[in-house]
Amino acid sequence: MRSYELLSIIKPNIDSEEYDKVVAKIEETIVSLEGKVTSTDKMGRKKLSYDIKDYRDGYFAVHNFEMEPKQVEKFNRQLRLNEDIIRIMFLETSEVKA
């Protein structure tokens, strides 16, 4: 398994309860794809540097998780189908072994 970090920006026009549901859905998706969530940081609502899909701000969430590389493509596809998420950014955080 490799370690990853996911930054997701969620639409600002939802209430905090819906925000929690979207974050929980992301965690459920990770687990359903045989991954393991190591930490979740709900950063709250923040102003964006530039408009994304006509939104000036959004709810930010950072997930650190472990997953097999072959499952990442499926996970990425499922995230893009979620209409409440306006932007995602994946980073692989696994250390390179020499």
The pTM (predicted TM-score) of the whole model is: 0.86
The pLDDT assigned to 65 comes to 94
The pLDDT assigned to 96 comes to 56
Give the pLDDT confidence of 36-62 residue by residue, as tens digits. Answer: 999 999 999 999 999 988 999 999 999
Asked if residue 98 is part of any domain, the answer here is no
Is 98 a residue whose pLDDT tops 70? Answer: no
Q: Looking at residue 41, which CATH number applies to its domain?
A: 3.30.70.60
Asked if residue 97 is part of any domain, the answer here is no
- Give the bridge partners for 47, in sequence order: 57
Backbone φ, ψ for residue 33 (5° rounding):
-95, 25
Asked if residue 15 is part of any domain, the answer here is yes
Asked if residue 22 is part of any domain, the answer here is yes
Total domain count, the chain: 1
Residues of the domain holding 52: 2-92
The pLDDT assigned to 61 comes to 96
Give the pLDDT confidence of 67-91 residue by residue, as tens digits. Answer: 998 999 999 999 999 999 999 998 9
